[in-house]
Amino acid sequence: MSDLPALARFGDRLATGLTDVTSDPAALDSSGFWAVAADYEGRLTCARFRDVQETPVPAPAPGRWHGPAAADWTSSLDHAAYTAGVRRIREHIAAGEVYQVNLCRVLSAPVAPDADVDALTAVLAHGNPAPYAGTIRLPGHGVEIATASPELFLRRAGRTVESGPIKGTARTEAELLPKDHAENVMIVDLVRNDIGRICTTGSVTVPDLCAVEKHPGLVHLVSTVRGELRPGAGWPDLLAAAFPAGSITGAPKSSALRIIDALETAPRGPYCGGIGWVDADRGTGELAVGIRTFWIDRDPGGTAVLRFGAGAGITWDSDPEGEWRETELKAARLLAVASGTYAETGL
């Protein structure tokens, strides 16, 4: 909606008073508070805001968010196409081309032209709270994102950088499989390599490996990778080394990216990208991996489409039906919350 003001929310932090928008990552090492949205395909939008205040996300207002009907969601890969993709990835693994690939699908549904991602943010905060929840609304710049991400992509405090890759998902801790732990270790090794490219030699460590985190409706295995940036390295170097995140691509990353490009039929956009904030004055920042993320696409005629991505990490041990069910598990609660059909939201 072009008549809505630009804003960004991250937790209880609200940024308003837009002053600059750029695609240059070097801006993140300049000054001011920036909202950052990096599409999986590489489009980077950095928006500097003048005013930042601590303000809780407002409670959902009745009638403010009108989500799509539950039956209106369609998938870029249906059940047959997705399971066929899993089988094809296993063929690539058998051929020695790759060890793991994250296969994703994008779900879409029409929404009203006046749909507002900030109103969706209030609904998500109530129905699916998340540690890296965020919103970026930039009318006129094609960025309307509301994320309930549970995953840390990059955190920076001075020269210290940290990533928190998630690999391994189940309804309960007891349902996690050996395959989930193997996935996590593979991606941790990849993230160590990515961060190690721009960190001082010997500084990269793994303080936590395969810790179990509980989130609404499911559990994840989460690890922590930490390092110290080498002298002279900044946000452009960090993004170039780590993007896109290893947890949503695969290992080796170059092979996984090629296979993803061949199998997926829709652009991921903000899904699997990076979403967050950078305080250039303090040398701090926090970007989430853009999972559990909604975004609005608009065409010049005024039609608005709400999109949401879901995926799963495919390894040799993957069962095609099981991986399809994992994508359904990841999507079910969030789609129900956005459509107003999840009972616990009370909306």
CATH code at position 35: 3.60.120.10
Question: What is the structure's pLDDT at 172?
Answer: 94
Question: Annotated catalytic residue: which of 151, 162, 286, 326?
Answer: 151
User: Is 270 among the domain residues?
Assistant: yes
User: Is 239 among the domain residues?
Assistant: yes
Q: What 3-state DSSP class applies to 164?
A: strand
**Amino acid of residue 238:** L
Whole-model pTM? 0.94
Q: Which long-range contacts (CB under 8 A, 24 or more apart) does 322-327 make?
A: 323/82, 323/83, 323/86, 323/103, 324/79, 324/82, 324/83, 324/86, 326/169, 327/82, 327/104, 327/105
User: Which DSSP symbol is given to 141?
Assistant: T
Question: What is the structure's pLDDT at 345?
Answer: 39
Question: Annotated catalytic residue: which of 144, 162, 167, 228?
Answer: 167
User: Is 106 among the domain residues?
Assistant: yes
Q: What values do phi and psi take at 36, rounded to 5?
A: -125, 130
User: Is 1 among the domain residues?
Assistant: no
Distance CA 337, CA 340 (A): 5
User: Is 2 among the domain residues?
Assistant: no
Question: What is the structure's pLDDT at 2?
Answer: 58
User: Is 268 among the domain residues?
Assistant: yes
Buried b (16+ CB within 10 A) or exposed e, 16-45: eebeebeeebebbebebbbbbbbbbeeebb
Question: What is the structure's pLDDT at 8?
Answer: 98
User: Is 210 among the domain residues?
Assistant: yes
User: Is 201 among the domain residues?
Assistant: yes
Structural domains of the chain, count: 1
Question: What is the structure's pLDDT at 3?
Answer: 81
Distance CA 229, CA 227 (A): 7
Question: What is the structure's pLDDT at 62?
Answer: 83
Q: What is the pLDDT of residues 64-93, one digit of tens each?
A: 999 999 999 999 999 999 999 999 999 999
**Amino acid of residue 86:** V
Reply yes or no on whether 167 is catalytic: yes
Give the domain extent around 254.
Answer: 7-345
Reply yes or no on whether 344 is catalytic: no
Residue 103 CA: distances (Å) to CA of 82, 200, 297: 8, 33, 22
10-residue mean pLDDT profile of the chain (347 residues): values are 87 97 98 98 97 94 89 97 98 97 98 95 92 95 96 97 94 92 93 97 97 91 97 97 96 97 98 98 98 94 94 95 95 92 49
